[in-house]
Amino acid sequence: MSDHKKTAARQRIEAMKQAASNGKSAKSKPIGSPPAQLPARPPEPKKPKLSKAQRYDRWQANRGRLPHHATIEAAYNAEKEQWAGCLLLEDGRSFSTTHGGLWGLMKKLDDMYRVGSASKIGEQS
């Protein structure tokens, strides 16, 4: 060890001994005043009131089932090793996508329906 490092090490040891004799650890820091009170949170924007029909549509879209008479058509492409499918709804809307597996395809179509239904409800308000 160089003399400079030895001197620095001795100074640290002395500081720790002195702090121990005072009843404090060498690394303890005095506790300052408590932090100032945080500013109040701004009020959250109010959600627009939905009509009874809009609330029912939102509930219907999120309850876990597709609407009555929804049709899923799927076809497998062996060259691409992919399923292509379309979800057709009675009101004329349709959603199309592709996926490597049949269950994944149906999940993607369902997710597209749920996002589309939520945006449709938002447009009505």
Please provide the DSSP assignment of the chain as one string: --HHHHHHHHHHHHHHHHHHHHTS-TT-----PPPPPPPPPPPPPPPPPPPHHHHHHHHHHHSSSPPTT-EEEEEEETTTTEEEEEEE-TTS-EEEEEESSHHHHHHHHHHHHHHHHHHHHHHH-
Q: Is residue 7 part of a domain?
A: no
Q: Cβ distance 85 to 98 under 8 Å?
A: yes
The pTM for the full model equals 0.46
Who has greater pLDDT, 23 or 12?
12
Asked whether residue 22 is domain-assigned, the answer is no
| Per-residue confidence band for 124, with pLDDT thresholds at 50, 70 and 90 | very low
Within-domain flag for 20? no
* Residue 85 CB coordination number (10 Å): 20
% of the chain surpassing 90 pLDDT: 29
Query: Is 118 among the domain residues?
Result: yes
- Residue 45 domain flag: no
Nearest to 72 by CA among 94, 57, 92, 91: 94
Average pLDDT score, the chain: 79
Asked if the structure places residue 27 within a domain, the reply is: no
Q: Is residue 92 part of a domain?
A: yes
pLDDT digits (tens, 9 = 90+) for 67-88: 889 999 999 999 999 999 999 9
Most confident of the ranges 11-15, 33-37, 53-57, 110-114: 110-114
Number of independent structural domains in the chain? 1
Q: pLDDT at position 94, please? A: 92
Q: Is residue 105 part of a domain?
A: yes
Range of the domain at 91: 67-124
The proportion of the chain whose per-residue pLDDT surpasses 70, expressed as a percent, equals 76
